[in-house]
Amino acid sequence: MAGLNRAGLNRAGLNRTAPNRTGIAPRPVTTGVILGVVGLVFLIPIASMIEFTLRGVGGGYDGSHWAALVDPANAGKYAPIWRGLQGSLVLSLTTVAIVLFLLAPTMILVTLRFPALRRPLEFLCLLPLSIPAIVLVVGLSPIYLTIGRSVGTGVWTLAFAYGVTVLPYAYRAIQANLDAIDVRTLTEAARSLGAGWGSVLLTVLAPNLRVGLLSASLISVAVVLGEFTIASLLNRQNLQTALFVVNKQDPYVAVILALLALLFAFLLLLAIGRVGTAAALRRTTPKKDPT
Amino acid sequence: MTMDTNAHPSQGVPSSLEAETDSRTTGSNPLVASGVDGASVSFRGVVKEYGGHRVLHGLDLDIAAGEFVSLLGPSGCGKTTALRVLAGLESPEGGVVSIGGTDVSRVPTNKRDLGMVFQAYSLFPHLTALENTMFGLGMRKVKKTEARERAVAALELVGLQAFGDRYPAQLSGGQQQRVALARALVTEPRVLLLDEPLSALDAKVRVQLRDEIRRIQLRLAITTVFVTHDQEEALAVSDRIAVMNAGRIEQIGSPEDLYRDPATTFVADFVGLSSVVPATAAGGAVTVFGASLPMRSRRADGEVEVLLRPENVRIATDGRGERATVLESTFLGSLRRTRLRTDDGVTIRMQHSADERLSFGDVVRIEVAADSVAVR
């Protein structure tokens, strides 16, 4: 997210580094201590997980558990995991589609035409944050009875619920980007130049909302890949429920997959930062005046 | 808001500027060669409300093809709303807007064939100056090679051909507005709409770009509606100015007419500085400071108020004129502007040579330096 914020600030021309240290800023030592402690909180569990997966069967350390994961002999044993992963990937795509084709256009529409609805929309989108997944499921189960009867019980139907759970994260990411650009003027300029609404969305707004849309999508993917409660209580198989099942037979492979999922999420977030800053840099680097 | 003392309400472009800019764009700029067919514009009884508050009270305005008309007025007078209604960005509650004689009230913005330059920087941040300029042509399905040629020509017209590969963030405010102008003109629109395009720029760039807009407008003969709150800007570039106040047009006329013979107190106050002197009219003439002068527009005999511009007042010699005491005198380089109070308690603004030094408390005699006066 750091990269995203920096990109947003750059564009708004607000990225100023304080020339002198003000009273409120911590000293370098304090900064170091804070970073160290926070870093340890993150690193110790991850290091422990790695250590755990490397434990050999007869004591000592080796890579046998990692090798077992790709061993064709274990294909049957790990099949639920691959099915779960497949289900989660389908869910990720469907959820991202909901974010990109439903949430984003709605937010743009509210910004352009119904600015008075901005606060209610924000409230609505942030609401899922305050409702625990287990409570959400209580309300969702009767709905899923109907969904099951009308469109089937395929794992992809969970995307409707996930579309709700990712709302707070996706909303914040897109709104930050919407605030950083002058949506109204860009739209009116494009309209005056002959662009229809489709062109306005695709050729003018989408490229300028790229960072926000990308962050929203990747955060949604991260949330969906980590979701357990709703899938479990609604009896659908996703990556996390599969890991839970496999964990009972083989705790090592569950931890290995958890590590891989973590690495995947980390790479996703890194990508958000990279894409945002690279684009902003390319457009704002001053050029020498041609004479 | 004071008048630039050097700025005469003149149409056209100063000859020095024309000579300088002509050398830049002589030859065959395709955009100039193909020309733009400006269309007439008319507002008929246009009414616009925001949440029950009426901002346009039945606006009537006719603009001829190729004419440069400024909508001038204080903020909240409805000038920008009028422009946005013409652009189709706001839909009016009543009335008819026509372009080229056709009612466009129900035509969406993107089908109105307009060029528009906004107050806020409106270039697409993800496109270079050249790509921005090509945008409107792309929307009209013009072939890429032709679009590029026309966009380059349009950038040349605003003197930015060397900046085509820059992104908006790499351009100065003035350059961004020039690109926005090129982008608006490249599609050869029927009407050019300018919504306070200069107000975000600093003073020097503002004057340069203002004159450049007028030069290009004259070359292309494109119908132009220019919204501004800066009377000096409006006086300098317009064929006609519509002074707006509280959703209505107070007066419309050439810059000279407006300046010389304002129809209402509001126009007199808003366009240039003026002093108001009570006087008595009789037989088409009025007596001000001891001299009888004809009125520019005929009023019935009786009590009137005479409007005097600072340049219409001078220091009288040999005991003629009215006695007045100097309140303050400001040096403005080529001249001096002095505020005085007559013995009758009327405050007068006078513009005079910088050599005539006056200071607080000086008593002088003043007279009117004009053949006729505006009254209300």
Q: What is the DSSP string of B266-320?
A: HHHHHSS--EEEEEEEETTEEEETTEEEEBSS---SEEEEEEE-GGGEEE--TT-
User: Among all residues of chain A, which has the CA nearest to that of B165?
Assistant: A287
Cβ A188–B170 below 8 Å, yes or no? no
- List the single best residue of A10, A14, A188, A193 to mutate versus B (max B Cβ within 10 A): A193
Flag whether residue B187 sits within 8 Å of chain A, measured between CB atoms: yes
How far is B79 from B69, CA to CA, in rounded Å? Answer: 12
CA-atom Rg of chain B in angstroms: 24
How far is B321 from B288, CA to CA, in rounded Å? Answer: 9
User: Which of the pair, B69 or A65, is modelled with greater confidence?
Assistant: B69
Mean residue pLDDT of chain B comes to 87
Q: A28 lies in a domain? A: no
Q: So what's the pLDDT on residue A180? A: 92
Single-letter residue type at B309:
R
Confidence band, pLDDT 50/70/90 cuts, at residue B276 = confident
Q: A4 lies in a domain? A: no
Q: A49 lies in a domain? A: no
Q: So what's the pLDDT on residue B282? A: 84
In which domain, by residue range, is A196 found?
79-117+132-280
Q: So what's the pLDDT on residue B287? A: 87
Single-letter residue type at B164:
G
Cβ A204–B124 below 8 Å, yes or no? yes
For the segment B182-203, the average pLDDT, to the nearest whole number, is 93
- For chain B, give percent helix, strand, coil, nearest 5: 30, 30, 40
Cβ B126–A207 below 8 Å, yes or no? yes
Report the candidate in A119, A259, A279, A157 with the shortest Cα–Cα distance to residue A215: A279
Give residues with Cβ within 8 angstroms of A240, minimum separation 6. Answer: A84, A88, A225, A226, A227, A228, A231, A232
Single-letter residue type at B8:
H
Q: So what's the pLDDT on residue A272? A: 67
Instruction: Report residue A162: phi and psi, to 5°.
Output: -65, -35
Looking at beta carbons, which residues of chain B come within 8 Å of A181?
Answer: 125
Flag whether residue B89 sits within 8 Å of chain A, measured between CB atoms: yes
- List the single best residue of B85, B90, B117, B135 to mutate versus A (max A Cβ within 10 A): B135
Report the candidate in B155, B158, B162 with the shortest Cα–Cα distance to residue B132: B155
Q: So what's the pLDDT on residue B35? A: 59
Which helix (H) or strand (E) segment holds residue B91: the answer is none
Q: So what's the pLDDT on residue B14? A: 39
Q: So what's the pLDDT on residue A22? A: 56
Cβ B169–A283 below 8 Å, yes or no? yes
Q: So what's the pLDDT on residue B18? A: 39
Q: A46 lies in a domain? A: no
**Token couple for B122:** 């409106």
Q: A181 lies in a domain? A: yes
Q: So what's the pLDDT on residue B270? A: 87
pLDDT in tens, B81-130: 999 999 999 999 999 999 999 999 999 999 999 999 999 889 999 999 99
How far is A160 from A169, CA to CA, in rounded Å? Answer: 16
Report the candidate in B63, B59, B52, B86 with the shortest Cα–Cα distance to residue B73: B59
How far is B237 from B216, CA to CA, in rounded Å? Answer: 11
Interface of A with B in 165-184 (CB under 8 A): 181-182
Report the candidate in B316, B353, B347, B349 with the shortest Cα–Cα distance to residue B332: B353
Q: Specify the CATH number for the domain of residue A150.
A: 1.10.3720.10
Confidence band, pLDDT 50/70/90 cuts, at residue B38 = confident
Q: So what's the pLDDT on residue B5? A: 39
Residues (pLDDT < 70) of chain A are 1-23, 272-273, 275-276, 279-280, 287-291
Cβ B116–A192 below 8 Å, yes or no? yes
Looking at beta carbons, which residues of chain B come within 8 Å of A284?
Answer: 167, 169-170
CA angle B60, B63, B68 (to 5 degrees): 130
Report the candidate in B29, B28, B24, B26 with the shortest Cα–Cα distance to residue B159: B24
Looking at beta carbons, which residues of chain A come within 8 Å of B88?
Answer: 191
Q: So what's the pLDDT on residue A57? A: 79
**Which structural domains are found in chain B, ordered by start?**
15-113+189-260 (3.40.50.300), 274-375 (2.40.50.140)
**Token couple for B179:** 């690109």
Nearest CA distance, B192 vs chain A (angstrom): 10
Cβ A191–B120 below 8 Å, yes or no? no
Interface of B with A in 137-176 (CB under 8 A): 139-140, 162-163, 166-170
* Residue A279 and residue A210 in contact, taking contact as beta carbons nearer than 8 Å: yes
How far is B364 from A56, CA to CA, in rounded Å? Answer: 109
Find where tokens 């909180």 sit. A41
Which helix (H) or strand (E) segment holds residue A205: the answer is none
Q: So what's the pLDDT on residue A15? A: 42
Give residues with Cβ within 8 angstroms of B57, minimum separation 6. Answer: B47, B246, B247, B248
- Residues of chain B with pLDDT > 90, as a percent, come to 61
User: Which of the pair, B238 or A282, is modelled with greater confidence?
Assistant: B238
The total of structural domains in chain A comes to 1
* Residue A137 and residue A230 in contact, taking contact as beta carbons nearer than 8 Å: yes
Instruction: Report residue B297: phi and psi, to 5°.
Output: -120, 135
Interface of A with B in 186-205 (CB under 8 A): 186, 188-196, 199, 204
Looking at beta carbons, which residues of chain A come within 8 Å of B120?
Answer: 182, 185
CA-atom Rg of chain A in angstroms: 23
Q: So what's the pLDDT on residue B4? A: 41
Q: A202 lies in a domain? A: yes
Q: Label each residue of B201-230 as H, E or C.
A: CCHHHHHHHHHHHHHHHHHHCCEEEEEECC
Confidence band, pLDDT 50/70/90 cuts, at residue B349 = very high
* Residue B74 and residue B151 in contact, taking contact as beta carbons nearer than 8 Å: no
Q: A60 lies in a domain? A: no
Q: A44 lies in a domain? A: no
Find where tokens 């139907």 sit. A157
Looking at beta carbons, which residues of chain B come within 8 Å of A190?
Answer: 124, 135
- First CA to last CA distance, chain B: 22
Looking at beta carbons, which residues of chain B come within 8 Å of A116?
Answer: none
pLDDT in tens, B8-27: 433 443 333 333 344 344 44
Q: So what's the pLDDT on residue B28? A: 62
- The partner residue sitting opposite A194, judged by closest CB among B118, B168, B187, is B187
Flag whether residue A208 sits within 8 Å of chain B, measured between CB atoms: yes
User: Which of the pair, B235 or A81, is modelled with greater confidence?
Assistant: B235
User: Which of the pair, B266 or B224, is modelled with greater confidence?
Assistant: B224
Q: Give the β-pairing of B68-72 and B322-331.
A: unpaired
DSSP class of residue B369 equals: -
pLDDT in tens, A192-204: 999 999 999 999 9
